[in-house]
Structure 1
Amino acid sequence: MSRTPLRPVQRVLLLFPPMHDVKIIDTMVVPPMGIASLAAYVRDMVDVALLDCVAEGYRQKVSVARHIARVGLSDDEILARVRAYRPDMVGLSCIFSNQFACVKDLSRKIREKVDPDMVIVTGGTHPSFLPEQTLSEADVDYVVLGEGELGLKQIIETHNSGGRIEDIDGVAFRTENGVQVTPRTTWIEDLDTLPFPARDLLPMETYFEAKVPMALHWRKVRNTPIVSSRGCPFKCPFCSSWRHWGQRFRKRSAENVLAEITHLKSRYNIQELKWQDDNLTADRNRAKAIFQGMIDRGLVMPWNTPNGIALWTLDGEMLDLMKKSGCFEITLAVESGDPETFRRFVKKPFTLDQAAKVARMARERRITTVAYFILGFPGETVRQVKSSIRFGLRMGVDYLVPFIFNPLPGSELWQECMQKGFLSDSLQYERSNNYMDPGALVSAGPDGKVSGGGDEVSYVQGMAYLQNLAKLPFRNPREFMANYSRKLLTAPWFLVDFLKVLWNTRSIIVSGIRQSSLFVKRNR
């Protein structure tokens, strides 16, 4: 261990750090369910506080690169809050790779300027898959791997009992011989045993004021995320989430979920839900029990699925029940519309024909549709990228969202890219997770070979997004008027920001016009 004896821990501050985000996109201001869940799990054994640096400083943006801005409280403001709370332990969440730069800076400054003996812990997807790099670059004592509740609790218990860190499951730390990584082997089997996230420790009114919820679409200002399950049984090679959550699907009971919705409505007057599940309807019977329970108990309210939904479980009966319980929008993570790319990279149990059918059935029920696509998989040609986008436009969804492939640490494709030398050890992770920025693109050359370019793919991305958006007023005038009038009324500066986006993407527009081959046309 780097420090002995172990410091007793009585006060814990869990921190959601600032983010490095693309300038042309609004950074989402969303209650961080990760640290809220951790706080609820350990609050009966220690005093705990939460600091959401993004929410409390969402108006503060500092340029760190041409396309990237740091969003959130300044380091000085954060350090002042740490000093004021006087914790024995600080936990730095690192769900996204574009938070890692802030984790590095804050861990060093807390050690140097606040308390050299502070116990500093980090966790989340990024450090879970890069524990050695995290411990070498950030001044943290521990990395909690995967699901965080058990690991954090055991670290606190060990510090207070004088036990052995080496005996904790799912943790990485420094030793005299280097870094020891103990893989996680235990998981919370019954999610109903978890307390509801500690939203009372978060600035809930700030989220309502910001009006920038997950995926940016909303119907009611007082909305909040809710998580009813963890994990995914499928193994898409571009995704790391299924590994992070134990390579399987676990779920809360319908009764437990309905109890939380009741709590949210009575305690915070929540009027809209954002399901953060990857696979909300994977268990069809449970999903139906939740939706029917919302109807029967007077809990009907607008809701959507910004993370996606188990597309293969949706049929007319399910969609009717979802609509009655308040569903106004579903996100279909199709990933690719090119048959060859779809077969190679998408391991979910649905077909492209099924995806198109679900989109059509949702439209018939006036459920807004969003479709996610990934462009530029390793080895994918520009021809395949265009083929994928043609399918996406033919689906006729309300919002087509084409992301540029970024290698997520822990995913199969990230490992493949590392092994083949497509990514360097000095990859700037603060630019990762920015799917509108081709800075980390590693593929999609015209000959199908992996390269560091991506301009043409970026053009296709921009033109597809704009072409689909231009059709929205004619395809779904009701959605167009509702969405954009709501934004103009609640955030008048939205129009200015939108014009800035058009100006910043002018090269894409001009290039798309000049290169007629980039216009996506219907297959004949």
Structure 2
Amino acid sequence: MNVVFPGAFLDELKYTSLTGVKVTLINMPIREQAKPNNPPLGPALLAARLREYGAEPTIIDLNIYRVRDEDAAKRGLEHGRTLTFEEAGGLISRTLNKVGSQHVIGLSGLITTLKWQTEIARMIKAVDPDAMLVSGGGLATQFRTDLFGWIPELDAVAHSEGDDVILKIAHDAKAIRDLGFEKAHLAGRLSPFLQGVIGGKPRFFYHGGRTPDLDALPFPAYDLLFEDVDGFPVLETYLSVPVWGGSAKNSSATSFEMKRSISTISSRGCPFACKFCFRGAQGERNYGVRSAEDLADEFIDYQERYGVDFIGLLDDNFMVSPKRISQLADILEPLAASGQLRWGAHGRLDEAADLRPDRHGGYRMADTLRVDEMARAGCVYIGFGAESASSKVLEDMGKGGFMLSSGMEKINGFEFPRAMTQGMRNTINAEIHGNCTWIMGYPGETLGDLQTSIAFIKWQQELVTEGMTPNTLEYDTAFESINTSVFTATAYPGTEMFEHPKVRSILTETFGLRFDPESRKPVADENFRTYVLELNDATKMITNNDGRPLNYSDISDDQFVEVRTMLDDRELDKVLSI
């Protein structure tokens, strides 16, 4: 099938083409165990794009709510539970009663939101049956037309980036509302994304694509989150919860506090190919960046508009371009020097190390270090997806390459990649907090491999407290700023890890998954759907019917559970003593 991307249709649209078109975007709940701390960036970007062409967007954010009641207490949810399906349905009904019948209602969410999207789709067809119901985001990008079988209420599925395709979706919905489906179809208004009439209803499959100029896109329409239909302060609630840090209850530990924070992204896609990661929802492997000027404008806008004291960049690869970092520093240095602007980003430890081979067979650092330039621009936090400190596991994960190209360094009896050790030193020397995240249980990992990662965490604690007096506030703050959480390796569909023979064998045995012999893709049957419904973020340990963990490593199941318990209890020394 020839793929036609939506950008080809933009020339046909005028900035008034979607006047009067009503679009509601619904963001699904995630990570019930944590406070909601990132406003729904995807829906806010799409809403801003729609407004450029005259449409009237609404955002319903189901993730912001955490209800403290007896049920939440019983389940150990200290921040409260998410809405029930009934409560969510009531909120949606009240909102639609206020804004009126919609041309398009879009469901957005990660692969972990299948259950929510299934339930919400049923509700939507009951309260606004004439709206075109569309699923987009991570779930839609992964499963594409298979979603029609799992969520039969859907009229359309849209994969990949939505900045341009949302305009085509709204255009098609307007044509159907104005002309009726038959006339709109015969007039060619619905080409080329109409798949046909299937099961008695038109089905559309929209191909998202990269907009030509990321800098030309409007900033997210966060103003639409000011309050919900009941007056609940959605945006203010997000702003008051730290993007990262201990109080955010995520793996992004910090050595400092933030009172008001907001998040955005600096790039789309990923130039790397880690085998455990699915990048489909944000550009796949097609990497593109926003300019330093555009980022600086957004930073300053948020500071002036919302009074934030910290901005978090959520994309994984801010540090790829040293040139852009220096350009950003040239623009932001005056604000950073005065202490008016702080921000954080994600990158790789080899980028922080900035090591280059020298003529003597050794290594030297670049003349200008990326971390120093980031500090000049006001950066105070970098999140590093270290995942493992074992060279073998890094290779297996597809993270070897640059990470191992500078050789190894022996510390406390363990061999660590020099790019990791030097990257941490450079980050600390630049007075930036470096936070590493970790994964255990990857296929082929041994206990020794995992102990190497734990030893690296212990070395980080030594590094940041060097020269400090134990049991002082300074020492304790620095020590506790080192992330000791370790995720469990989860096999997400669409990743190379999911294709690993051991992973497939375990999933076949545990969930009855079947795989097409030609495409090697899983068969989208009820067994596969059951597995997807089990997925959550990587803090969840998926088990089989006997309560045993899905353990893909070379560690025995009994020892895996023992170590997992120790790590959950932050008993790192016990893991090292096994």
| TM value normalised by structure 1 | 0.77
Tell me which residue corresponds to 2:12. Answer: none
1:134 deviates by: 2.2
Q: Which residue of 2 aligns with 1:51?
A: 60
Cα distance, 1:154 vs structure 2 = 0.9
With over 3 angstroms needed to count, the CA separation of the structure-2 counterparts of 1:46 and 1:304, relative to structure 1, is same
Structure-2 residue corresponding to 1:233: 271
Whole-Å separation in 2 of the counterparts to 1:173 and 1:296: 57
Q: Measured at CA, do residues 90 and 415 of structure 1 come closer, stay the same or move farther in structure 2, by a change above 3 Å?
A: farther
Q: Distance in 2 between matches of 1:293 and 1:330?
A: 20
What is the distance in 2 between the residues matched to 1:51 and 1:432? 24
Of residues 186-195 and 316-325 in structure 1, the stretch that sits farther from structure 2 once superposed is 316-325
Deviation, 1:18, is 2.3
1:519 corresponds to 2:519 = no
Note the alpha carbon deviations across 1:141-191, whole angstroms, 9 max, x for none: 1111011122221111122233454513xx988735999886847421321
Superposition pairs for residues 86-485 of structure 1, below 5 Å?
A: 86=100, 87-94=102-109, 96-112=110-126, 114-138=127-151, 139-161=153-175, 162=184, 163=188, 165=190, 167-168=192-193, 175=198, 184=207, 186-203=209-226, 204-211=235-242, 215=250, 217=254, 219-241=257-279, 244-296=282-334, 300-305=340-345, 308-314=346-352, 315=354, 317-347=369-399, 349-351=402-404, 352-396=417-461, 398-416=482-500, 420=505, 422=507, 424=513, 425-439=528-542, 442-444=550-552, 446=554, 456-464=559-567, 466-467=569-570
Q: 2:27·2:43 contact (CA, 8 Å) conserved in 1?
A: yes
Write the distance in 2 (CA, Å) between the matches of 1:10 and 1:20.
33
Identity between Structure 1 and Structure 2 (%): 23
Shift of 1:353: 1.6
Q: 1:392 to 1:173 in 2, by over 3 A?
A: farther
Which shifted more, 129-138 or 198-207? 129-138
Give, in whole Å, the separation in 2 of the partners of 1:291 and 1:355.
24
Q: How many residues align?
A: 454
Alignment match, 1:475: none
C-alpha change, 1:159 and 1:319, in structure 2 (3 Å) is same
2: CA distance, partners of 1:140 / 1:193: 31
After superposition, the C-alpha distances for 1:27-71 in whole angstroms (9 at most, x for unaligned) are 33311111010101111331111121222x133576699789852
Cα 1:328–1:193 change in 2 (3 A) is same
Structure 1 residues 436 and 243, CA, compared in 2 at 3 Å: closer, same or farther?
Answer: closer
SS of the residue aligned with 2:273?
A: coil
Query: In 2, are the aligned partners of 1:464 and 1:520 still within 8 Å (CA)?
Result: no
Pairwise CA distance, 1:333: 0.8
1:240-272 deviations in Å (ceiling 9; x for gaps): 116851312100111111111121122222221
User: Cα RMSD (Å) of the superposition?
Assistant: 3.4
Distance in 2 (alpha carbons) for counterparts of 1:206 and 1:312: 36
Larger Rg: 2
The CA deviation string for residues 273-306 of structure 1, in whole angstroms up to 9 with x for no partner, is 101121111011011211331113568522222x
Report the alpha carbon displacement of residue 420 of structure 1 after superposing the two structures with TM. 4.2
Answer with 8-17 or 193-202: which moved more: 8-17
- Report the CA distance shift for 1:119/1:64 in structure 2 as closer, same or farther (over 3 A): farther
Partner of 1:79: 93
Judge which range, 406-415 or 353-362, deviates more.
406-415
Aligned partners of 2:192 and 2:169: how far apart in 1?
10
8 Å CA contact retained: 2:160, 2:208: no
- Is 1:37 the counterpart of 2:37 in the alignment? no
CA offsets, 1:201-230, max 9 Å, x none?
A: 123212133456574656332210021111
In 2, the alpha carbon distance for the partners of 1:183 and 1:160 equals 16
Q: Is the 8 A contact 1:20 1:71 kept in 2?
A: no
1:92 deviation in Å?
1.1
Contact 1:403 1:461 in 2 (8 A): no
Judged with a 3 Å threshold, the aligned counterparts in structure 2 of structure 1 residues 183 and 157 are, in CA distance, closer, same or farther, namely: closer
> Tell me, what secondary structure is at the counterpart of 1:167?
coil
